[in-house]
Structures are given as structure tokens and as C-alpha cells.
Structure 1
Amino acid sequence: MSGTSLDRVLLPTATGAESVATLRTMLHGHRLHAVVAIVVLVVGTAVGLLTAPLLGHIVDLVVDRKGAAALTLPLVLLVVVAVARGAAAAVGSTLVARLGETVLAALREQFIERALRLPLDRVEAAGSGDLVSRVTSDVSMIGKSVRQALPEFSRSALTILLTFVGLAVLDWRFLIAALLASPVQVISVRWYMRRAAPVYGEHRVATGALQHQLLDSVGGVRTVRAFRLDDTHTDLLEQRSAAARDLGLRGIHIVTGFFSRLNLGEFIGLAAMLATGFVLVDNGSVSIGTATAAALYFHSLFNPINATLYLLDDAQSAGASFARLVGVSNLPAERAESEARALADGSVEVSGLSHAYGSGAPVLHEVDLRVRSGERVALVGASGAGKTTLAKLIAGVHSPTGGSIALGGVDTAELGPAGVRRAVALISQEVHVFAGTLADDLRLARPDADDERLRAALDRVGALEWAEALPEGLATVVGEGGHRLTVTQAQHLALARLVLADPPIAILDEATADAGSAGARVLEEAAARALEGRTGLLVAHRLPQAAAADRVVVLDQGRVVETGTHEELVAAGGRYAVLWAAWSASRQEPGEQVPRPAPDPDEAVSPVV
């Protein structure tokens, strides 16, 4: 893993040896497929090489004035060779492409499996653009190479190899003449490889940085406009676009220089081939037809050699992309649990919990919190108090920098990531509606649930009425390209998933914040029903949520400063009472007086968000 000037710690990129080892492992179960593909391509290429000797034979027949009848058989054979070569090439290319697609599919699946289990703080450290660029542009680059470059490269490489064999069969001196072009080609390839590999690797990183900036600018457009950061983000986009563009132009310049050197090699080889043919025909060593066949052989090498070397360009890009995917795919898998640890209950115990993001200042300081099984606790505090951080630590989204968390009497270190996910469900205000039917979306939480169980979950959170009113009920396609759900409906969907998953502990992180006042009240009732029978932690955006909880925990600057019931804290006249008074005042009609406790003059009160 390496840092960048953008202060990001990128996700790992595999070394060449690691990439080769991964490719070898993926091909291990497809050896027969690979052998059949190679055999078909070899046969097709060998048949195609009969074209030059046949044309040379026709030249000899014409020189010897054998007559038109003598040309019939060679011409028929030329047609047969062309058809056979085309058929074999089509079948062979299909087999190679299918093999490549199979390997790519396996790599994609392994990549997605690892990516979905990456800790959120690891993704945030790299920047979302790094991960997005790998799963989009890198996969596209490899896919393009598999479908186009790999079959063409296989055919071209075999054509070059077998053509050299054909030249040696005609006369070994023709082979020597053809090889005179090799030093120029080898030097050109080495020149290209030294320069191209770093440029393509840097270009992939620059593309990831550009996508990261695009996601930040577009996703945070409201904040950008609110703080008048348009010019700043525009400058950043221009800088990162320019960096990606300049690296792309450097790559094009390298490719242009590469092909100019290859043209020199072709000139040297063809001149040597024609001179050799002239000498051998002049001294009677070969016929004119044989010299013609040799010249045609060498000329026929132009396209395969150029294609093979040109495909090195795609190979460099695909190799860089492959290494980036393998780097993530080879990340250590989640620790396998030696045995499933059963939770004694749904309690949560946090002891001496501290956390800081990266090298920043601590967000939580020695937090102690105990939540009884089945208790409903609201986390309250001003913006930046640490509520969401505490919730995410308990849910296992982040790993604490200090202290411990126990769920149901079992330390999360013993449970492991998978055990924590089974024990805790986290619902935030950002709910994703997956593309597919409503039923399939719900079954993400419980794949074996039948329609009756889905309806029961929807009914429990008060969503069954609108769900059945959809054009096709549970079979209605929602998400991208489908029926658009409202914010309230999307949150209903998330709460129904919670009921289906049935974890002992649930955390609602401002899950009603985007629904508006009316929608928030509906969702608060739905959330209360979804939390029945389980421990609930609520990051309270609306203080009425806190008022309805069994207990309220007030945080300020990463510390627990108050805890108690709503009534106890209001009566105490402390920080929560000030927040409650400010909230109540904002909901009163103009001119209506609301009693407010006197705030501590040393404390600044911020609005709850």
C-alpha cells in the first residue's frame, strides 16, 4: 500500500509475481479448456500458412507455362485453406474469449466479496474513488482485453511462431534474413516496456483520484454551494483531470515512438528477405516460387507482429488493472470463527472506548456505556459530539483505537466481524434501494423468507398498505430503472429488512432525518414497532425520539456528560434540558412563551443535527 500526494492511503496493488500466481490458480481448473483452445488455434494457423506455398507453387506453374488447367487444383486448395482457417480462427477465438471471461468472472466475484467486507475506515482512507475506479474502469479494461486483445494476441503469436517454422522449411537462409529485424524489434519492445508500465500504473491512480473528486463534488453539491466552494472544487477537478489527461498523452506519445521503431525493423527485414531471395534464385538454390513464398511469409508477419506488439499496449493497461483487482482480492479474508459464540442476551457494554479517525484528534474519549438487554437508549448531543461514531463502533463499522465493546457478554474481538454483523443491524438515513423486485430487496435480509413472512415484516412496520398498492405488489421492480420509492418508503423498507434479519441489537442512526416532519412521525412509530423485542440504540435527530426512549445518553465532545430518563434530565436543568428547551421553542407559535432553564454561561449550545 502506498500513500499519494492526495493524503490518501490507496488500497493495495498486487506485484507482478502475485498477479501471475493468482492467474495460475484461476486457470488451474480450466486446463482442458485451455488445451483445446490452443490446439484449435494451432491447427487453424498451420492451415493458414499453406497459403504462401500454394501461391509460390502457382508462380512456378506460370513460369514453367504449365497451362490454365494446372492452376485449378492450387486455386481450389486456396479456397479450402481460407475457409478452414477462418472456421478454426472463429472457434479458437471463441474458446479463448470464453476462457478469459470465465477467469474474469471469478476475479470479479472474489473482488466484490473482499470489497464488501472491507472496513469502512479502510475505504475512507483510500477514498471512494479508488474502489469505484477498480470496479468500473479496471474491470472494463480487463473485459475489453479478454474479448478483443486476448484472442487476437493468441492468433498473432501462433502465426509468428509457425511462420518462422515455415521459413526454415523453405530454406534456413530465409529464416536468418527474417531474424535480422528481431534486434530492432526487441530493443523497441524493451524501450516501450520500461516507459509504458509506470505511465499506465500512474494513469490508473490518476483516474481513481479524478473519480474520487467527482464523487466528492457531486455527492456533496449542497455543502459545496452552501459554503461557496464552487471555485475550489472546480480547481480540484481541473487539476486532477489535467493530471489524468497528461498521463494519457504521455502514453500516446510512447506508443507513437514505439511504432516508428517497429517500422524501421520491418524495412530492415523485408530488404534482407528480398536480397536473400535474389541471391538464392540467381545461384539456382531455390525457385522463383519458393522465393515468392518466403517473401509472402515475411510480409504476412507484418500484421501479426504489429498486432502482438501493439497489444502490449492493451496488455500493459490490462496488467495494471488486473494487479489493482488482485491487490484487493488478495486482502486477508475475515477471521473464521472457531465456533459460533452465542450471545447471552442483547446487552451492550462499552468500556473505556476511544476513537480517532486516522491521525486526527480523538472523537471519543474513554466512553463507558451499559445498555441492558431490551432497553431502548437514545444518544443525544450537538453536532460533532460523537454520537454516530459511537454507534458505528458498536455496529463494527469502525474498529476502536482504545477500549472494548461487548455484545451479549461476548467481546467483539472474540465475535469477529461476521459475529458482530449477525448481532447488530445498523440503519442510517442513507438507505439504498437495490434494483430488482420489492420481494428480492426484502429477501436480502433473509433469503429463505416466503411472501407471507415478507408481508408480516411490512405489516409490522406499517408499510404493507403502500407495498400492496404498488403496480405489481411485492413483484414490483424498484430501485434503479424501476418504481421510485419515496424517502419514507425507502426507510420503511430498511425497517422491514431489520425485522426480517431479527438481530438482538439494532442501531438507528438518524433514520428519520430526511423524511420531513410528517414522514418522521410515521417512521418513528414504525421504528418503535421494529425495535420491539430487541435492544435499541437511537442516534436522535428529533428530540421526541429521545423523550420516548427508556434512557437518554448525552454526549459532548466525545464524552458522556449526562444519562437518565427524559424526565430526570429535563428536571436536572443540565445540558439536555437546554437542548430540549431550544427544540421546544423552535416548535412554538410566534409570541408563545416557553420556560427555559438558565444555560451554563460557560457552555455554547449547538443545534441538534
Structure 2
Amino acid sequence: MSAPAPGTPAPRDLLPTADRRRILGVLGALLRTRRGTAVAAVAALVADAAVSLVVAPLLGRIVDLVAERAPASAVTGPVLLLAAAALVQGALAVLGLALVARVGESMLADLRETFVQRALGLPLERVERAGAGDLTSRVTEDVAVVGEAAREAVPEIARAGLLICLTLVGLAALDRRFLLAALCAAPVQVLTARWYLRRSTSLYARERTAAGAQQQQLLDTVGGVATVRALGLDPEHTRRVHARSEDVVQVALGVVRLQTGFFGRLNGAEFIGIAAVLGAGFALVGSGTVTVGTATAAALYFVGLFGPVNQVLFLLDTAQSAAAGLARIVGVADLPEPPAPEHPRHPDGARIGADGLGHAYRPGHDVLDGVDLEVPDGSTVVLVGASGAGKTTLARLVAGVHTPTRGRVRIGGVTPAEQGPDVLRATVAMVTQDVHVFAGTLAQDLRLARPAATDDELLDALDAVGAREWALALPDGTATVVGAGGQTLTAQQSQQLALARLILTDAPVVVLDEATAEAGSAGARVLDAAARRATRGRTAVVVAHRLTQAVDADAVVVLDGGRVVERGTHDELVAAGGRYAQLWSAWTGARVAP
């Protein structure tokens, strides 16, 4: 196998996709809990289809009455029956489709909750190997496609399928030769469906994968636009975005070509079927076997099949796309839970210790090597270093987000693996530069950290980070809707909100990874003060965005090339005239003796 070209991104280890057997098993399990509603839905749709079958014979009866030159009053009864059938059929159709939609939507809701629960529990390392675009496209596009199918495609396919079956029964009731004539179209339709399904399954799976790859590349390019421009990588990233977009376009064109051939074949099947039914009717009427009205009813039955047959086959497009999305959703929902110890250990205190830490995101490319770290209970250590020195990686190892390649991290004498996910979440809280404002009221956003928090506790947390004044000044105070579709918060306010949630978690250990970086010069002092208040009384590891954050820290650890090169207090390191002193000199503009 040839090596990838220089500049080509490493292949992604995409999240798994479920096979057909597993999808059917999941759907069956979800359906069993809704058996009663599903049975009622099928009964309503069967009754709807049965009522619709009386329309063609009634119209045929009217044709016979006209051919017999019966008085006008003779058609009154059939016309009234047609009107009653239309009303009953409409009511049953609405009821049946509503019940089917209810079953589908509730099944999707359960599956979505399981998916989100597993997605939130995925180790960050696993998400990063797959690329955020893979998970994002499953959360957004795949869920949307499956939801559309549950609301529209599934109910319509169920109703159309019943209409087809009962219409064929109606043709046989008129005369079995009409049924045989109508079935002349079936071989073409079956072959068309098989031809379509053989090609569409893989094509729609490629479409979903291509969309995920495109989204990932856009996230990589747009999210790192400053770095891309600084390093002059604009042409390379433009080429990658173009290549991913070209893949999406080519797959989309393949879908269009497939659909064009599909509907062309269906039109041919319709021509064959109607010609056979009309031919059979002509022969049977000529021989006196059936009346003109009966032949008319048979023709109307077959023409009435055009709609449901085409609808079923047309909705195969939506169904196949939904099946591809469902496979990706179930694939994530089926991922095993992270391993948890049988008897989780609780830390003894909040001191942090790290021995011989080494970490590599890719084999042979160490980001950290031989890092030792000691943070006494209740003290604050600030990590300093140039970009790429390993500060964020060390912070994530301490928070238990990543598992070290070598060495170990202990909190209160216990490693994250020994604590297990639940204990670790109660022990360590982390705030990064990329904070999120959740859609909902400000109070609901804060209560994500502590659901049982009182209004006074929410206000105390906001007050601690200097956010109480602007929070109460919102149109509805803490009841104001924020996030998507609500009140827009500034970058400073969003980070104050994240720090307030940190206080409400009341975790004994906190990790701040440039958690005040987005403040800008105007809000820097406000957020730095908020961060100090949020970490007061806790053991804290802070990745510094501004060196002023290191001045009052209990200790400063300087990283360079993944190794610890200096440690001490701010004053000690400035006096030492080493790497930290050089960074401080560059930051403040002061001259430091070599």
C-alpha cells in the first residue's frame, strides 16, 4: 500500500454502524412496548382501505345504470353511498396515520434519548479519532432524516401497502382474470424494486458518510481559521473542502441518476398493467362474462393502484436514506458503556499527583513525556508554555478526559479508572475555552450543574462570578430564555455562566483550560477575578491564557516540548531568569537579565 501524499489528513476511525439484523432487533424491542397502539393503528388503516374498495364498484354500478338508461333517481343511492364512504374513509385515514405517527415518534424519542446518552458518555479520545463531524452529522442530519421518515414515510407506506393488498383482493372478487391481468405489471415492478434496493442501500450510506466527512472538514477549517491563515494553509484547506464537497456532489448526482432510472421503469410497468386490464375487460365484456360497469370498476381499481404503488416505491427513497441514518444512530447507541470498576473508590482529599506521564495521540508522536506533577489539596497550579507545549493535554489527563499512554494520575490517591465515571464526575469539573449556552432559561442552564439548586443558590453562584447584575437585568431575570432562539449572551457572559455552573457542581478539583480566553482585553480582569473566586477553596489546575493568571498562583509549571522545564512561584521563576522569565518579559515588555 502506498503512503498517503504529504498534507493528506489521516483516515478517521469512524464511529460504528449497525447491521440490518441489529436494526430490526432494536425496532422490534421498541415496538413491543407499544403493541396496543400499533394494533389500533393497523386496524384503523385496514378499515380505511376496506372502505375505499367500495368506491370503484359503486362507480361501476353508476356506469351500468347509465348504460341501461335507468331513471336519474336510480343513481341517488350509489351517490349517497359514495359520499358516506368518502367521509368514513377520511376519518379512518386520519386516525390510522395519527396512531402510526404516534408509535413512530415515540419509538424515535426513546432511540434519540439512548443515542444522546451514549454520545455524551463517549470518551473524548474516541470522538476525536472519529472526528467531531461524524458525531455531529449523526446528531443532526441522521436524526432529522429518521424523524422525517417516522412522521411521513412510515405512516404513508403502511397505508399504501394495505391499499395495495386489499385492492388486489377487490380485483379478484370482480373476476380473477382481472387480477391476473393486473399482475402483469408485478414482474417489472419487483425487478425495478430489486434493482433500486441493490444500488440505493450502499449509495445512501455513502451519501451520509460523505456528508459527515464534509462537515468534519468544514469544522476543521472554520474552527481553526486563525491557524490556517497564520501558517499559510489556505490553499491546502481550500483543496480539502473542495474535494469533500465534490464527493458530496458526485454522490448526489448518483442518487439523481438512480431515481431517474427508477421512475422510468415504473412508468413502463404502469403501461403494461393498464393495457392488460383494459384488454381483459374488452374481451370479457365482448363475451358477455362481465358488464361494462364491472370492467370499469376493474380499470378504476388498477388506476387506483398507481398512487399507492408509486408512493411505496417512491418512499423507498426516504426509507433507504432513513435506514442508513438509523444504522448510524443505532451504531452509536449500541456502543458499550465505558468500563467502570465494580467497587468505585472515593478519593481521600483533593490532592493531585502525576508520575512519569506520557501521552501520544498517534503512536510515536509524544505530546507529553516524563511529566511529574504535585498539587497539594486546596492549592492552585498554573500551567504555562508556548502553544503546543502540552498544557491542554496535561489538563485533560488530570481531568480524566484522556487516559495517559504512560504513567498515571491520582486524585486523592485514586486514579480516574479506580473512581469510575460517576465518582470522577463528582470529583473533577472542567471548563474549557469553548463554552456552550444551552437553550432554555438561564435558571435551567445553571441547574444542569445542580438540578436541586434553589433560586438563592443560583443567584449566589452568579454573584460569585460577577454575573448577578447583568443576569437580573435580563428581560425576565433568570427566567429569560437564552441560547438558540433566545437572548444572546456575550462571550464574557457565557464564560461567567460556565464558571457559575462550576461553582454549583461543588467539585473539589477544578481544571480550567483557558476558560477566560475569550474575554478580550475589556473583560479579562472580570473573568480572571471570576475564575479566582470559582477556584477558591478547591484544588485547581489552570492552563494560562494570560501570564497575569500565574502571578497569584501557589505554583507555576512551565512546559516546553511536552516536558516540565521549570516550576516554582511567579517571583521565584522571574528571579531565576529562565524560560518563564523570558515569557514574562515578552508579556510585560520588561527587560530581564539573561
When normalised by structure 2's length, the TM-score is 0.94
1:489-508 alignment, distance < 5 Å: 489-508=493-512
Mapped partners of 1:57, 1:150: distance in 2: 35
In structure 2, which of residues 4, 11, 16 is the aligned counterpart of residue 12 of structure 1? 16
Q: Which moved more, 1:482-491 or 1:133-142?
A: 482-491
Mapped partners of 2:565, 2:174: distance in 1: 92
| CA shift for structure 1 position 220 | 2.6
In structure 2, which of residues 569, 583, 586 is the aligned counterpart of residue 582 of structure 1? 586
Aligned to 1:176: 180
Aligned to 2:228: 224
Aligned to 2:41: 37
Q: Note the alpha carbon deviations across 1:332-382, whole angstroms, 9 max, x for none.
A: 123455445322100112122211113461101122222221121121222
Mapped partners of 2:527, 2:69: distance in 1: 96
Mapped partners of 1:518, 1:97: distance in 2: 52
Aligned to 1:324: 328
Question: What letter matches 2:498 in structure 1?
Answer: A
Aligned to 2:33, the other structure's residue is in SS state helix
Alpha-carbon contact 2:356-2:369 (below 8 Å) kept: yes
1:514-553 alignment, distance < 5 Å: 514-517=518-521, 519-553=523-557
Change (3 A) 1:61 1:316: same
Mapped partners of 1:160, 1:142: distance in 2: 25
Aligned to 2:79: 75
Change (3 A) 1:110 1:408: same
Mapped partners of 1:466, 1:109: distance in 2: 34
| CA shift for structure 1 position 506 | 0.6
Alpha-carbon contact 1:351-1:366 (below 8 Å) kept: yes
Q: Note the alpha carbon deviations across 1:66-90, whole angstroms, 9 max, x for none.
A: 3222221111111111111111111
Aligned to 2:301: 297
Mapped partners of 2:23, 2:362: distance in 1: 30
Aligned to 2:80, the other structure's residue is in SS state helix
In structure 1, which of residues 155, 158, 164 is the aligned counterpart of residue 159 of structure 2? 155
| CA shift for structure 1 position 581 | 3.4
Alpha-carbon contact 1:346-1:535 (below 8 Å) kept: yes
Q: Which moved more, 1:521-530 or 1:84-93?
A: 521-530
Match status 1:438 vs 2:423: no
| CA shift for structure 1 position 120 | 1.8
Alpha-carbon contact 1:433-1:478 (below 8 Å) kept: yes
Question: What letter matches 2:583 in structure 1?
Answer: L
Aligned to 2:97: 93
In structure 1, which of residues 136, 143, 147 is the aligned counterpart of residue 147 of structure 2? 143
Q: Note the alpha carbon deviations across 1:500-523, whole angstroms, 9 max, x for none.
A: 111010111122323234532332
Aligned to 1:445, the other structure's residue is in SS state coil
Mapped partners of 1:194, 1:147: distance in 2: 25
1:18-33 alignment, distance < 5 Å: 18-33=22-37
Aligned to 2:517: 513
Mapped partners of 1:204, 1:435: distance in 2: 27
Alpha-carbon contact 1:395-1:421 (below 8 Å) kept: no
Aligned to 1:368, the other structure's residue is in SS state strand
Question: What letter matches 1:153 in structure 2?
Answer: I
| CA shift for structure 1 position 8 | 1.4
Change (3 A) 1:476 1:63: closer
Mapped partners of 2:291, 2:466: distance in 1: 92
Alpha-carbon contact 2:443-2:479 (below 8 Å) kept: yes
Mapped partners of 1:466, 1:164: distance in 2: 69
Aligned to 1:385, the other structure's residue is in SS state coil
In structure 2, which of residues 396, 399, 403 is the aligned counterpart of residue 399 of structure 1? 403
Aligned to 2:517, the other structure's residue is in SS state coil
Change (3 A) 1:135 1:403: same
Question: What letter matches 1:191 in structure 2?
Answer: W
- Where in structure 1 do 4 or more consecutive aligned residues deviate above 4 Å? 3-6
Mapped partners of 2:585, 2:9: distance in 1: 47
Change (3 A) 1:465 1:418: same
Alpha-carbon contact 2:345-2:419 (below 8 Å) kept: yes
Match status 1:570 vs 2:568: no
| CA shift for structure 1 position 187 | 0.9
Alpha-carbon contact 2:346-2:419 (below 8 Å) kept: no
Mapped partners of 1:548, 1:526: distance in 2: 14
Q: Note the alpha carbon deviations across 1:288-307, whole angstroms, 9 max, x for none.
A: 22222222211211111111
Aligned to 1:343, the other structure's residue is in SS state coil
Question: What letter matches 1:245 in structure 2?
Answer: V
Aligned to 1:605: none
Match status 1:349 vs 2:353: yes
Aligned to 1:121: 125
Change (3 A) 1:304 1:467: closer
In structure 2, which of residues 381, 385, 394 is the aligned counterpart of residue 390 of structure 1? 394
Mapped partners of 1:554, 1:222: distance in 2: 25
Aligned to 2:490: 486
Q: Note the alpha carbon deviations across 1:95-115, whole angstroms, 9 max, x for none.
A: 111221111222221111111
Aligned to 2:61: 57
Alpha-carbon contact 1:581-1:597 (below 8 Å) kept: no
Q: Which moved more, 1:330-339 or 1:186-195?
A: 330-339
In structure 2, which of residues 270, 276, 293 is the aligned counterpart of residue 272 of structure 1? 276
Question: What letter matches 2:133 in structure 1?
Answer: G
Question: What letter matches 2:515 in structure 1?
Answer: A
Aligned to 2:421: 417
Aligned to 2:218: 214
Aligned to 2:383: 379
Corresponding pairs, count: 588
Change (3 A) 1:468 1:282: closer
Q: Which moved more, 1:168-177 or 1:276-285?
A: 276-285
Q: Which moved more, 1:514-523 or 1:7-16?
A: 514-523
Q: Which moved more, 1:525-534 or 1:190-199?
A: 525-534
Mapped partners of 1:173, 1:446: distance in 2: 72
Question: What letter matches 1:50 in structure 2?
Answer: V
| CA shift for structure 1 position 453 | 0.8
Change (3 A) 1:225 1:563: closer
In structure 2, which of residues 460, 464, 476 is the aligned counterpart of residue 460 of structure 1? 464
Aligned to 1:356, the other structure's residue is in SS state strand
Question: What letter matches 1:241 in structure 2?
Answer: S
Question: What letter matches 2:178 in structure 1?
Answer: F
| CA shift for structure 1 position 531 | 1.4
Aligned to 1:559: 563
Question: What letter matches 2:462 in structure 1?
Answer: L
Mapped partners of 2:389, 2:221: distance in 1: 26
| CA shift for structure 1 position 28 | 1.6
Aligned to 1:607: none
Alpha-carbon contact 1:385-1:556 (below 8 Å) kept: yes
